[in-house]
Amino acid sequence: MRPVTETSIPSADQSLDEETPVTAATETEDAAGEAREKKAPADSDLFRQSEIAADYVEGLLDILDYDGDIDELVSGGRPVVEVVGARLQNLVGQRGATLEALQELTRLAVFRQTGTPSRLLLDVSGYRAARRKELAAVAKNAVEKVKEHGEPVRLEPMSAFERKCVHDVVNAMSGVESESEGVEPNRRIVVRPAAD
């Protein structure tokens, strides 16, 4: 049995799942700050983060007396831990709420050992992949409505992970744009015709 790591909260102003919007001011700051640009973590550092996270998750599963296979990997430049097994729906919760909480706890465990905030992605029983497909359909439907009626479409409140999935689909389509509005936990996406 692996020990469960005690966690403490790092200070962070923004969710690690969201991308920072690029504006003219941030582009100028980026150009001026190239000399002090931080180096992206190496794959070996990211894999170490996924190993730490996998140990933490395994400890939680032991405490909860749940059985599951745990895979740790690096995908898309971020550490990933996938848990697969029967009867793990309680770890996902309603609309992924429990999964989001477990992901934050796991990120804190990684931070505790590395001293660096992590963009770790935790998935249980393929929930995120299935949800990503659902959100792609929601985004395409919203885009169709915007193109048909020329009016903005406001989607239901979503988590940072869900909003990023929708933004990615909308940004890949021409003639429309999306932005997030509101305050957590009621932050939502608005899809509108692209500004000319």
What backbone torsions phi and psi does residue 179 show, to the nearest 5 degrees? -150, 155
Judged by DSSP in three states, 174 sits in: coil
Q: Which fold has domain 43-125?
A: GMP Synthetase; Chain A, domain 3 (3.30.300)
List, for residues 91-145, the tens digit of each pLDDT value.
Answer: 999 889 999 999 999 999 999 999 999 999 999 999 998 999 999 999 999 999 9
78-84 and 121-124 beta bridge pairing: parallel
Task: Supply the CATH classification number for the domain 129-193.
Answer: 3.30.1370.50
Q: What's the mean pLDDT in 182-192?
A: 91
Rounded mean pLDDT of the chain? 82
Structural domain spans, the chain: 43-125, 129-193
Q: How far apart are CA 129 and CA 87, in angstroms?
A: 18
pLDDT higher than threshold 50 for residue 7: no
pTM of the entire predicted model = 0.70
Q: What's the mean pLDDT in 34-50?
A: 71
Q: Name every residue whose Cβ is closer than 8 Å to that of residue 40 and which is 6 or more positions away in sequence.
A: 77
Inter-residue contact 138 to 155 (CB < 8 Å): yes
> Sorting pLDDT into bands at 50, 70 and 90, what band is 1?
very low
Q: What percent of the chain has pLDDT over 90?
A: 68
pLDDT higher than threshold 90 for residue 2: no
Q: What's the mean pLDDT in 163-186?
A: 92
Structure tokens at 2: 């692996």
